[in-house]
Amino acid sequence: MNTYYEQAKTIPVYGEYDVVVVGGGCAGLAAAVAAGRNGAKTLIIERYPFFGGTATASLMADIVGIRNQVEPNDLQVMKGLGEELILRMLAQGGARAAVSTAYKSTERSNTKGDLSYSYAFSTECFKLVSLQMVREAGCDILFHAFFSDTIKETCPETGKETVKGVIVETKSGRYAVMGKVVIDASGDGDVAARAGAEFMDYKMAGEKSLDDCLMYKVTGFDAENVTIGSCVMGTDMVLWGPSAGWHDSTDARSLSDMEVDVRLRVAEDFEKLKAGHAELKDARISETAPLLGIRQTRFIKGEYVITGEDVLTGVVPGDSVAMAANPVIRYYGYRRFLEHNGYGIPYRSFVPEKLDGLLVAGRCISSDQIAYESWRAMSTVLCMGEAAGTAAALAVKTGVEPRAVDVKALQKQLIEQGAEIGQNK
């Protein structure tokens, strides 16, 4: 590829914050709300003009993993902010328990502490409630802003590198945003990768991994006799659309090619589904997701790498800050249910091995492939966000780097907020 020398230039500082969250998916929005509620001056940066990421921009309208899908399922692992989001959507008629007879998940009372395994939701209701929650927490919001670079400082004596802020591209040009702690909730680990963090990419390494696909919404189906999909909300249903295969979704050209390819194949995909499902006979596509559903890209190498064994044996580490109980999904082989009530997500998996000033949250945390196939559920991602935002606020309050946060104090605070961390009394 040819190169072009871009001249250095002086750019305005958009603001100086305690906590800067990059990405407003499930992880980022929960991180921002938690940081704001904990008194941190917080900015959340998002390229779209709404929150949710995969949940809304990719139409992935079914939060799963709120408790184990099969017995034992006594423990509701997603509480705190994620639970609040679901209860608020239920109150507005924008969510419903999505029980699966195939997998024996049963409906609960749909009240605080008694939520079911999964909930289908209206993506519009999600956008509204999440926006209300971020606003109520007092956070600043910068929509239509694309993270493009990291601001870093290197200590001349120790060589230690600290993230001090980010650069964003906007309609009005390029801005610097300064943050005492930056939370990378971009899904792809863009901030950490740009800052030079080490990461794993199992998909690109050729390991058996989850593919990307374009979701789409249909209307006009026979709602009484639906046998396909779990994301039915009133007259809308979301379907899992054409697969984009296993290309590099962090590469600009490849990502664009993937979008072109799946969008050209949606109609054909739907016709095939219609042929096999009588309830779709009169249905039509009402919307394709603005964004291809990207399941996995980079996993940042953190102080701890969560393993499949941790997941399958139900390890609750001493620094657990969230719980998860979703089955390990191996789409093209088996669905491995957990034989316990849940496992813990260690705080260390949010802390990049070498960089300071930075936490990661969401689908780019430090994990192996098998573990990811369980904790990737939006229920867990929301809980991780809450933990990361609370930790960032605590780091700022106590004047320490995120890696030096007093984990006991963090856990106490999370429990007070109503989160489940596997160590609640």
Ligand X SMILES: Cc1cc2nc3c(=O)[nH]c(=O)nc-3n(C[C@H](O)[C@H](O)[C@H](O)COP(=O)(O)OP(=O)(O)OC[C@H]3O[C@@H](n4cnc5c(N)ncnc54)[C@H](O)[C@@H]3O)c2cc1C
Stretch binding ligand X (CB under 6 A), from 67-75, 181-189, 298-306, 391-399: 181-189
Binding to ligand X by residue 24, rule CB under 6 A?
yes
Residue whose C-alpha is closest to residue 264's, from 232, 281, 242, 234: 242
Nearer CB in complex with ligand X: 127/423: 127
Q: Output the smallest distance, CB 281 to ligand X, in A.
A: 25
Nearer CB in complex with ligand X: 305/377: 377
CA 348 → CA 40, 345, 396, distances in Å?
Answer: 21, 9, 18
Contacting residues for 233 by C-beta, under 8 A, at least 6 apart: 61, 94, 95, 96, 120, 121, 122
Nearer CB in complex with ligand X: 69/423: 69
- Do the Cβ atoms of 351 and 359 come closer than 8 Å? yes
Q: Output the smallest distance, CB 170 to ligand X, in A.
A: 10
Q: Output the smallest distance, CB 65 to ligand X, in A.
A: 6
Alpha carbon distance 152, 203 (integer Å) = 28
Binding to ligand X by residue 63, rule CB under 6 A?
yes
Interface pick for ligand X out of 41, 42, 43, 47 (rule CB under 6 A): 47
Interface pick for ligand X out of 18, 62, 161, 184 (rule CB under 6 A): 62
Total number of residues that touch ligand X (CB under 6 A): 38
Contacting residues for 72 by C-beta, under 8 A, at least 6 apart: 339, 340, 341
Alpha carbon distance 378, 372 (integer Å) = 12
Segment 191 to 230, residues that bind ligand X, using CB under 6 A: 213
**Which is it for strands 140-142 and 42-45: parallel, antiparallel or unpaired?**
parallel
Task: Classify residue 392 by its DSSP letter.
Answer: H
Nearer CB in complex with ligand X: 221/372: 372
Q: What is the 3-state secondary structure (H, E, C) of 266-287?
A: HHHHHHHHHHHCHHHCCCEEEE
Q: Output the smallest distance, CB 379 to ligand X, in A.
A: 6
Binding to ligand X by residue 134, rule CB under 6 A?
no
Interface pick for ligand X out of 294, 351, 358, 421 (rule CB under 6 A): 294
| Main-chain dihedrals φ then ψ at residue 91, nearest 5 degrees | -65, -30
Q: Which amino acid is at 289?
A: A
Binding to ligand X by residue 165, rule CB under 6 A?
no
Interface pick for ligand X out of 38, 42, 58, 320 (rule CB under 6 A): 58
Q: Output the smallest distance, CB 295 to ligand X, in A.
A: 4
Interface pick for ligand X out of 60, 134, 183, 392 (rule CB under 6 A): 60
Alpha carbon distance 396, 380 (integer Å) = 24
Q: How far is the first Cα of the chain from the last one, in angstroms, to the nearest whole number? A: 58
Interface pick for ligand X out of 44, 185, 383, 405 (rule CB under 6 A): 185
Interface pick for ligand X out of 20, 37, 53, 283 (rule CB under 6 A): 53
Q: Output the smallest distance, CB 23 to ligand X, in A.
A: 3
Pair of tokens at residue 93 = 């008629």
Pinpoint the alpha helices (H) of 307-406. Answer: 308-313, 369-375, 378-398
Count of beta carbons in the 10 Å neighbourhood of residue 154: 10
Q: Output the smallest distance, CB 57 to ligand X, in A.
A: 6
Stretch binding ligand X (CB under 6 A), from 17-25, 120-128, 335-343, 401-409: 17-25
Q: Output the smallest distance, CB 299 to ligand X, in A.
A: 11
Stretch binding ligand X (CB under 6 A), from 73-81, 277-285, 342-350, 377-385: 377-385
Binding to ligand X by residue 64, rule CB under 6 A?
yes
Contacting residues for 387 by C-beta, under 8 A, at least 6 apart: 34, 321, 322, 345, 347, 350, 361, 410, 414, 419, 421
Alpha carbon distance 196, 190 (integer Å) = 10
Give the residues lining the site for ligand X (CB under 6 A): 22-28, 45-48, 53-55, 57-58, 60, 62-65, 146-147, 185-188, 190, 213, 293-295, 362-363, 376-378, 381
